[in-house]
Every structure is written in C-alpha cells, then in structure tokens.
Amino acid sequence: MVDIDEIDKKILLELRKNGRVTFTDLSKKLGLSVASIKNRVEKLERLGAIKGYSAIVDPAFLEEYLQVLIELELLADDSRAEAVLEEIGKLENILGIYKKTGEFQVVIRANFKNMDELKSFLRLLSQKYLRKNLRRWRVSVILDTLKDNGVQLSKSSRRRG
C-alpha cells in the first residue's frame, strides 16, 4: 500500500462516516493541529485514497421510488464491455457498477421512478448497450437500506424501496 500511517487511516475512517466533518473537528478528535489535518487530507486526495465527496440522498426526494440491484450474466469477455459499462455509469440514476466473480459478472445498483422506467432500462441494456453479449439478468428490489456508503442510517432516515 502507499505511504499512509495510522493517523491517515483514522482520518479516512472519520471522513467515510461524515464527509462534511470540519478540519477543526477532526483536529480535536485526533489531537492534531488543523494545519496538519488539512495537509494530510490534501495528501490523501492526491494519493487517490479519497476519491470524492458526496451526500447520501433519499431517492424519494428525486421521485425515485424503486431501488434495485441488477445482476448481469455476460456470454463472453467482450473487449467493448469496459467501455459499455463506463457509458452506462454516466446515467444519472446509476449509483454503482461492480465487476465481480461468479455466475453474474456485473452488478448495477440503480434507482428508478417506477417499474416502467426499470423495464425501459432493461430493454436498453439488451438492445443498445450489451446486445448479444448479455445472456440474462436478475433484478432484486431493495426493500430497506440499513447502511449506505459506510454510514449507518437511523430508522427515521432509512430509504425504503
């Protein structure tokens, strides 16, 4: 691994819990100066340990009431697959794309306004994006989110599918 120490790891863990934590709060929690925290965070960003900052948004406020995991079984290793998955990843409602081992090689996490929008996306997957390389898909609806992006969600802030 790259050159990070235990303090850097503690900073990363705190940022994973709350990306909006101030340098002042981090300095108090870890017993370092604000300047030291700022320098370490900038170093972690340069190293790529911190890939970005985002908010965990309740999809209902975006009128996205259907949250799903879509598993894809591909027929063969297609040299275009990586580029196609990157293109799919640019769609606003796609929250994550994961390549994995097993029967289904790809998992897509996405939100949709309704079932018709999901069906339309599945048609695009087979007709536009993956075409003959897609053997089948399996869709699971997310019923409730207990933890997201490392953040434990309280009962009042949980997302329901």
**134 and 67 fall within a common domain:** yes
**pLDDT for 75:** 86
**42 and 67 fall within a common domain:** no
The mean pLDDT value for 139-154 works out to 88
Q: Please indicate, yes or no, if residue 158 is contained in any of the structural domains.
A: no
Strands annotated E in 114-160: 134-141, 147-148, 151-152
Cα 158 to Cα 154: distance, rounded to the nearest angstrom: 6
Q: Which of 51-55, 116-120, 146-150 has the lowest mean pLDDT?
A: 146-150
**126 and 65 fall within a common domain:** yes
Position 159 confidence tier, pLDDT thresholds 50, 70, 90: low
Q: Please indicate, yes or no, if residue 123 is contained in any of the structural domains.
A: yes
Percent of the chain residues topping a pLDDT of 70: 94
**66 and 136 fall within a common domain:** yes
**89 and 16 fall within a common domain:** no
**31 and 68 fall within a common domain:** no
Q: Judge whether residue 161 has pLDDT over 60.
A: no
How, if at all, do strands 134-141 and 106-112 pair? unpaired
**30 and 81 fall within a common domain:** no
Q: Please indicate, yes or no, if residue 52 is contained in any of the structural domains.
A: no
**pLDDT for 132:** 85
**pLDDT for 55:** 87
Count Cα neighbours of 123 within 13 Å in the Cβ-side half-sphere: 6
**Which CATH number is 11's domain given?**
1.10.10.10
**Which CATH number is 103's domain given?**
3.30.70.920
Q: Please indicate, yes or no, if residue 161 is contained in any of the structural domains.
A: no
Q: Please indicate, yes or no, if residue 135 is contained in any of the structural domains.
A: yes
**pLDDT for 1:** 54
> How many independent structural domains does the chain possess?
2
Tens of pLDDT, residues 101-116 = 999 999 999 999 999 9
Q: Please indicate, yes or no, if residue 156 is contained in any of the structural domains.
A: no
**66 and 141 fall within a common domain:** yes
**113 and 144 fall within a common domain:** yes
Position 13 confidence tier, pLDDT thresholds 50, 70, 90: very high
Q: In the predicted model, what is the mean pLDDT of the chain?
A: 91
Cα 109 to Cα 46: distance, rounded to the nearest angstrom: 28
Q: What is the DSSP letter of 125?
A: I
Which residue segment(s) compose the domain that 124 sits in? 59-148
**pLDDT for 7:** 96
**35 and 107 fall within a common domain:** no
Cα 75 to Cα 63: distance, rounded to the nearest angstrom: 34
11 alpha-carbon distance from chain centroid: 20
Tens of pLDDT, residues 41-98 = 999 999 999 999 988 888 999 999 999 999 999 987 777 888 999 999 999 999 999 9
